[in-house]
Amino acid sequence: MTHCTPSAMCITSRITRPFQWNPPPHPMRLNPSPMPDAITLESPFFIVGCGRSGTTLLRRMIDAHPLLAVPVESLFMIDYLRARDHITDVPYKRLILSEHEFSEWELSVSESDLSNCRSVVEVINDLHERYAANEKAQFWGQKTPRFVRYGHLLKDVYPRAKFIHVIRDPRAVAISLRKSNVHRSNVYFGAQRWQKDVQAGLDLKRDFPNDVMEVSYETLVSETELTLREICDFLGIPFDEAMLSYHQQREAAYEGYHAEIHKNLNAPPKQDRIEAWRKDLTPVEIALIEQVCSPLMGQLGYEPEQSDTPIPDNMVSQLKWERRTLGLYRQVRQYFRGRTRHLFYSIWRKYRLGLLGGDLSDVNY
């Protein structure tokens, strides 16, 4: 099996902006160019963004394309890439194959199968190529939202990689993070996470304007076909109608532990999800989110609504305490109930790679 090589043609991205909000000061969408007559995709692509922004929905749509294969979230991958220059004495092949997240790819691979791989990057490429071949696809991508923080690292490894940055209203993201027990979060930390991750994506777009496409969740669910056509154009592949019927193909990876977290994936996009946050957030919570996210909200076309609502002086301190106690308890309980191996292997990996200390404060935030 040949290994993926990080080389691809750069194609100008399409910029898709939020649905039903004031437009940003630049055009919502560039004039679409003709669809490519030939496939020009030669390098991996990455679907990134703040968690709960719609990256999994987009992953299902893209993975339904017969040419493309995108495994489920693979956060382990970035740790090995971060440590790639100083882990020659670590049995990284064995560690990678034992990763719980890799087991969710449902591939049967042994160390001997990787005997020709001479580096961490070659192992990662080989496994993705095997996954694509198993799915009868030609190209592979990755969908792990947190990778938005490591875009420049991924660019070092894959110089011609393309990124699809999914952006969603911070109020919707914050309430979704709070509802998910997988994330040790509340509206304050959800807003901070949105600000941090979206800024990372914008920085990546600034540095690599032709290789980063921004897609708003709101437009993805309201203008699905047009948005998917633009994404295919950006990647350099023809659009395929199968992308619109993704929900008709049930995927084992989203059963069991993931079923409740991603319960809407087996149905068509729902436009009523765009403003569902209005029913779940109080005016004070909305005001707090808007205060934290105000530096970017206007730039992205999201209009603040509660700027005059007073925020209690002790609200932030209470939310910080809640995250340290109740949030941590809920998160750990959720992992022990459905994903104990994932928690164990994450800690063990970071310890073996020398990343544990610096990463503790960043877990699910």
In a domain, 54, yes or no: yes
Closest CA to 175 of 272, 53, 268: 53
Kindly give the confidence (pLDDT) of every residue in the chain, 365 residues in length, as a single tens digit, with 9 standing for 90 and above.
Answer: 444 433 333 333 333 444 344 444 433 343 344 444 567 787 999 999 999 999 999 999 999 999 999 999 999 999 999 999 888 778 999 999 999 899 999 999 999 999 999 999 999 999 999 999 999 999 999 999 999 999 999 999 999 999 999 999 999 999 999 887 665 578 999 999 999 999 999 999 999 999 999 999 999 999 999 999 999 999 999 999 999 999 888 665 545 545 555 567 778 998 999 999 999 999 999 999 999 999 899 999 999 998 889 999 899 888 887 755 665 666 666 656 656 677 788 888 999 998 987 665 554 44
**Residue pLDDT, tens place only, 125-163:** 999 999 999 999 999 999 999 999 999 999 999 999 999
Strands (E) across the chain are located at: 45-49, 68-69, 139-143, 162-167, 212-216
Strand partners, 68: 139
In a domain, 40, yes or no: no
Contacts of 26 (CB under 8 A, 6+ apart): 15
d(CA 99, CA 92): 11
Order of strands, edge to edge, in the sheet holding 212-216? 68-69, 139-143, 45-49, 162-167, 212-216
Supply the CATH number for residue 154's domain.
Answer: 3.40.50.300
In a domain, 29, yes or no: no
Residue with tokens 């436009």: 271
**Token pair for 338:** 């459905």
Q: Compute φ and ψ for 13, nearest 5 degrees.
A: -80, 160
In a domain, 249, yes or no: yes
Q: Are 123 and 159 in contact (CB under 8 A)?
A: no
Contacts of 27 (CB under 8 A, 6+ apart): 15
Residue 220 has a pLDDT of 98
Residue 246 has a pLDDT of 93
Output the CA torsion sign for 260, 263, 265, 271.
negative
Q: Compute φ and ψ for 239, nearest 5 degrees.
A: -65, 150
In a domain, 37, yes or no: no
Model's pTM, two decimal places?
Answer: 0.84
Residue 24 has a pLDDT of 46
Q: Are 79 and 353 in contact (CB under 8 A)?
A: yes
In a domain, 262, yes or no: yes
In a domain, 58, yes or no: yes
Q: Are 146 and 195 in contact (CB under 8 A)?
A: no
Residue 47 has a pLDDT of 99
Q: Is 3 helix (H, G, I), strand (E, B) or coil?
A: coil
Angle at 170 between CA 20 and CA 183, to 5 degrees: 140
d(CA 339, CA 342): 5
Q: How many domains does the chain have?
A: 1
Q: Which domain holds residue 133?
A: 45-362
**Residue pLDDT, tens place only, 245-271:** 998 886 655 455 455 555 677 789 989
d(CA 124, CA 130): 10
d(CA 260, CA 281): 21
Residue 107 has a pLDDT of 96
